[in-house]
Each structure stands twice: as structure tokens, then as C-alpha cells.
Amino acid sequence: MIDCGEGTQTQMRKYNISFSKINHIFITHLHGDHIFGLIGLISTMVLLGRKNDLHIFSASEIQKYLNPQIQFLYAEVIPFRIVFHPLNFRKEQTIYEDKKVTVFSFPLSHRIPTCGFRFEEKPKLPNLIPEKIEEYQIPIRDRQRIKEGGDFVTEDGRIIPHTELIINKHPARSFAFCSDTRFDESYIASVRNVDLLYHEATFAEDNQKLATETYHSTGKDAATIAKNAGVGKLIIGHFSSRYKDHTIILKEAQCVFPNTEAISEGDVIQIERVISR
Ligand SMILES: [Zn+2]
Ligand SMILES: [Zn+2]
């Protein structure tokens, strides 16, 4: 989960997202609209009898906000451990890694220390093409080696390059999340070539000055980051409530980066591998 605003629990119930599946929460920064849902979420996890550790990646000050609330509500210890992982707000850092994914944090430019996050899927081994196994009678003992990049030598000594024998069904994908931030070229390197970029676009160009003053972005800013970073697709959100209709923000973004979509509540976005690396 990235950030945890006030309505998080309600929305999770509405869209049937399991509480027990949330094991890692990445908090960009400590403004209320990004953390007010945390204590409610933790309380629900206590009620549900959670046992697994809950990992929170955030500015370390979050403990000053959360711990007193937890102590006030639960005099005894809660049945699971909350593990806090402090973020580095000066440079990019690897903050999490498992068999499937690596997560990086990188500094953004907001009124208080803020990080964006990049999720990189690890490449999976390709599959062997069944017809090729048949055609060249590839023995089982050779198959793993070919998946890992080796060529196949037939009994009569012909070398069949592995590229002819495999199909990559699961290309590794990447996703980056940038909120809240004002336009700043310093984090372009951290989102370069991601398949999907979520970037805040609080304002339209009519409020460019206000965007800079409040350390937020316009749709055009978000699109300029997407364009300069060469990302596959851009999703924008975090629209100011002053815009009854955010079409204007979307249109301004699409002028700079056509493959832009505006996010709405409940949207499910499939991350597709579009960038070849
Ligand atoms: Zn903020
Ligand atoms: Zn915000």
C-alpha cells in the first residue's frame, strides 16, 4: 500500500481488498491527507487478530504520531509487530527486496521531506516453446540451462540459439509513484523508463504560481516529467477540489504527453511492459 488517507478502510471494504494482504505500507510524507487512515487500519488489523509483522516505510517521525495513539488505545501490546523503516530524503535507496520485486525510494520536492517510490519486478525465466522441444527433441536435463540463456547443440552438432527456443511470457515491469511534489528535474533519473508512472497533478496551468508556492504540480508538470523520463504511460491524480471537473488538467497534460490518463476512485490499472530495456 502506498500512503493511507482518511478514507482508506472504507474504500478497501468497498472494493473488496483483503486487510491481511497488506504487509508493507509506503508513506511518501507526513501530511494528513497521506496518513490519517493509518490508526484506523491498524485498529482493524488488531480486531481481525493479525499476527504477521506490518512494515511501515516512512519518515522516522511517524513513530511520534502513531505510537502514542497505539498506546492510548491498547494499554497492552498489540498482537503483531509494527516494523518501522526510516526513509532517506537525500538520495535514492533500495528499501525492500524479495523474490519478485525490488522497491526504491527517492527524494521529491515538497514542503516537508517527501519520497517517491519505484517498484521493479524481477525478471522471470522465459518458457521453452513446446513445438521447439518436440522439433529438436530437447532432453529435460538441458531445459533449465536454455531458459537461463544457453544454446542447444543437436546430436549432429548444429547449434540452435536459445532465442529461437524460448518465449518470454512474463517480461519484468516497473511502476513509479510521485506524490506530493513540485516540478523538479532532480527525480527524473529515478523514474526513467518505467512502464507506468503515477504523478500528482494538483493544479491546471491557471494556477501554476500556486502550484510552485505550495510545492505541488500541474498536469503539464507531470507530463513534462513523464516525457523527459521516457516512461510508457502516465496516470495523474491528487486533483485539487477547486476543480469540479479535472478534464482541463488532463487535456493540458496530454498536450505534452499523449499517453496520459486521469485516475478515478476504484480504478484498476494493469501495468503493461511497454518499455524495452
Ligand atoms: Zn503534501
Ligand atoms: Zn497530498
pLDDT of 93: 97
pLDDT of 125: 86
Q: Secondary structure of the chain: what % helix, strand, coil (to 5)?
A: 35, 20, 45
**Lowest-pLDDT range, 13-22, 155-164, 230-239?**
155-164
Contact of 79 with 42, CB cutoff 8 Å? no
In angstroms, what is the span from residue 268 Cα to ligand 2's centroid? 21
pLDDT of 276: 66
Interval 193-206 mean pLDDT: 97
Q: Which three three-digit cell numbers place residue 70?
A: 497505539
pLDDT band (50, 70, 90) for residue 272: confident
Interval 34-45 mean pLDDT: 96
Judged by its nearest atom, the ligand closest to the C-alpha of residue 181 is 1
In angstroms, what is the span from residue 44 Cα to ligand 2's centroid? 24
pLDDT band (50, 70, 90) for residue 277: low
Judged by its nearest atom, the ligand closest to the C-alpha of residue 36 is 2
Judged by its nearest atom, the ligand closest to the C-alpha of residue 31 is 1
Task: Look over the chain and give the mean of its residue pLDDT values, rounded to a whole number.
Answer: 94
pLDDT band (50, 70, 90) for residue 123: confident
Counting residues of the chain whose pLDDT is more than 70, the rounded percentage is 99
Judged by its nearest atom, the ligand closest to the C-alpha of residue 237 is 2
Residue 169 above 80 pLDDT? no
In angstroms, what is the span from residue 216 Cα to ligand 1's centroid? 8
Q: Which residues pair with 2 in a beta bridge?
A: 26
**Lowest-pLDDT range, 137-146, 162-171, 205-214?**
162-171
pLDDT band (50, 70, 90) for residue 19: very high
In angstroms, what is the span from residue 134 Cα to ligand 2's centroid? 56
In angstroms, what is the span from residue 29 Cα to ligand 1's centroid? 7
pLDDT of 42: 96
pLDDT of 229: 98
Catalytic residue among 33, 142, 151, 206, which? 33
In angstroms, what is the span from residue 28 Cα to ligand 1's centroid? 9
Q: Hey, what long-range contacts does 217-220 have (CB within 8 A, 24 or more apart)?
A: 217/181, 217/182, 217/183, 218/183, 218/249, 218/252, 219/248, 219/249, 219/250, 219/251, 219/252, 219/253, 219/260, 220/252, 220/253, 220/255, 220/256
pLDDT of 5: 95
For residue 151, indicate whether it is catalytic. no
Residue 273 above 90 pLDDT? no
In angstroms, what is the span from residue 28 Cα to ligand 2's centroid? 9
In angstroms, what is the span from residue 275 Cα to ligand 2's centroid? 29
Judged by its nearest atom, the ligand closest to the C-alpha of residue 108 is 1
Residue 22 above 70 pLDDT? yes
pLDDT tens digits along 50-104:
999 999 999 999 999 999 999 999 987 889 999 999 999 999 999 999 999 999 9
Q: Considering only CA atoms, which of 5, 184, 190, 6 is closest in space to residue 91?
A: 190
pLDDT tens digits along 222-246:
999 999 999 999 999 999 999 999 9
